[in-house]
Amino acid sequence: MNYVVISGKSLLDGREAQTYIDWALMKLEQGFETDAIVSLVSLMLQFFPDVDCAEDYFKTALNEIGLPDPDVKTAVHAYLQHYCDQAILGYIEAQQAIYDLEKYCEIISFKQELNVAYHSVMDVLSFLITDLEMICMDEPALYNTGLTIFNCEAYLLQIIWQFQTMLYLQLPQNFIAYYMLIDNELWSMKDYRG
Task: Find all residues with CB under 8 Å of 120, minimum gap 6, and list them.
Answer: 171, 172, 173, 174, 175, 176
Q: Percent of the chain, pLDDT > 70?
A: 88
Residue 157 pLDDT grade (very low, low, confident, very high; cuts 50, 70, 90): very high
Record the pTM: 0.85
The C-alpha atoms of residue 72 and residue 131 are separated, in whole angstroms, by: 31
pLDDT at site 158: 94
Each residue's pLDDT tens digit, 11-49: 999 999 999 999 999 999 999 999 999 999 999 999 999
Is a pLDDT exceeding 80 seen at residue 176? no
